A and B are shown apart, each in its own frame.
Chain A
Amino acid sequence: MMGELTQYIILASILFGLGAIGFVTRRNALILFMSVELMLSSVNLMLVAFSAFRADMAGQVMVLFIFAVAAAEVAVGLAILIALFRHVKSVDINKFNVLKW
């Protein structure tokens, strides 16, 4: 049996790895966003786990700030996506090449 904290860290890194795989392999911009959310959530899990094992409430407070940053990121990102969709008529990231050289 693994140690208690270790299993949370392993779970969080598996989730982060899944998010990273999704981010570089998918082409749908919306799924890219969801992969980023997956990575943010795994970091939250790590913070809460360390906060519980070190008996320090600061980790839980940090999670709330990450919530705020994630909400801001999603709002701005989806607005950018809508603005892009007006030009390209697609959510395929390979078609978003107006800034590519």
Chain B
Amino acid sequence: MEKPRLMAETVERLPARHNNKILTGDSKMDMYFILFAAMAVGAGIVTIIAIDALISAMGLLTVFIALAALYLHLHAPLVAIFQISIYAGAILVLVVFVIMLLMSPDEQLEKVQKNLQFKFMGAFLAACMIGIAVVGVRDIAERVSSVSLPENFGDPALFGKYFFGEYLLHFETASVLLLVALIGSIYLAKKKL
């Protein structure tokens, strides 16, 4: 079966020493990562600093699209499609709908919390996260990245086999969760609670 992989030609032209199909040395592919990573980080900054909530939502949309592109890079085409259709489609439309419903156009809340301690807390949390990542992943790359991918990795057919085979119980549980969320949100949004 033909593998639904983005940039399949580039993969075949690689020298044989790369048994890992995720391209490591190719500068063109690194540009792909750098482009979309910069897009994601820039749009993420827009998301958290925009005064208008609608601009913030548009920043989040850009983050989702950039992440979908990175999922394609990581041989997860089905996850990329779901990212676009569920996150950028359904969830973000819901958020934008509520923004339109609740916020009047001229209502602009103060940009950040007044108290300085909140800013310090935020900066501290972010520094902790990045610090943990940098310390924790120092030698993880050598340990993990020597695994070579099977030919049909990321194939939607293989994905379905996992999804409806090994993870069938989880799938059914997720449907119960969504049903409960549906009932709960209808109840909460009623006129008289």
A60 and B142 contacting across the interface, CB-CB below 8 Å: no
**Shortest Cβ gap from B118 to chain A (Å):** 5
Chain B residue with the shortest CB-CB distance to A37: B60
Contact among B60, B75, B133, B174 with A68 in the assembled complex (CB-CB below 8 Å): B174
A72 and B181 contacting across the interface, CB-CB below 8 Å: yes
Known A7-B33, A61-B159; contact A33-B48, beta-carbon cutoff 8 A: no
- B: interface residue count bin: 35 or more
**Shortest Cβ gap from B45 to chain A (Å):** 6
B87: chain A residues at CB < 8 Å are: 37, 41, 67, 70
Taking chain B's interface residues, is the majority helix, strand, or loop, or is none over half, making it mixed? helix
Cα–Cα, bound, A21→B119 (Å): 8
Cα–Cα, bound, A15→B45 (Å): 9
Produce 1/0 per residue, A70-87, CB < 8 A to B. 111111101111110100
B31 at the interface (CB under 8 A from A): no
Cα–Cα, bound, A70→B74 (Å): 22
Chain A residue with the shortest CB-CB distance to B185: A79
B119: chain A residues at CB < 8 Å are: 25
B158: chain A residues at CB < 8 Å are: 57
**Shortest Cβ gap from A31 to chain B (Å):** 5
For the complex, count residues of A whose C-beta is within 8 A of B: 73
B2 at the interface (CB under 8 A from A): no
Contact among B22, B118, B180 with A53 in the assembled complex (CB-CB below 8 Å): B22
Known A19-B44, A83-B188; contact A58-B162, beta-carbon cutoff 8 A: yes
A44: chain B residues at CB < 8 Å are: 67, 79, 83
Chain B residue with the shortest CB-CB distance to A34: B60
Chain B residue with the shortest CB-CB distance to A70: B91
Known A26-B112, A64-B82; contact A75-B185, beta-carbon cutoff 8 A: yes
A10 and B82 contacting across the interface, CB-CB below 8 Å: no
Cα–Cα, bound, A26→B142 (Å): 39
Produce 1/0 per residue, B171-191, CB < 8 A to A. 000100110111011111100
B91 and A71 contacting across the interface, CB-CB below 8 Å: yes
Known A31-B53, A34-B47, A48-B74; contact A55-B153, beta-carbon cutoff 8 A: yes
B74 and A49 contacting across the interface, CB-CB below 8 Å: yes
B148: chain A residues at CB < 8 Å are: 55
**Which 3 pairs show the lowest CB-CB distances between chains A and B?**
A3-B141, A17-B126, A22-B48
Enumerate chain B interface residues (CB-CB to A < 8 A).
20, 22, 24, 30, 33, 37, 40-41, 44-45, 47-48, 50, 53, 56-57, 60, 63-64, 67, 70-71, 74-76, 78-79, 82-83, 86-87, 90-91, 94-95, 98-99, 101-103, 109-113, 118-119, 121-123, 125-127, 129-130, 132-134, 137, 140-142, 144-145, 147-150, 153-154, 158-159, 162-163, 166-167, 170, 174, 177-178, 180-182, 184-189, 193
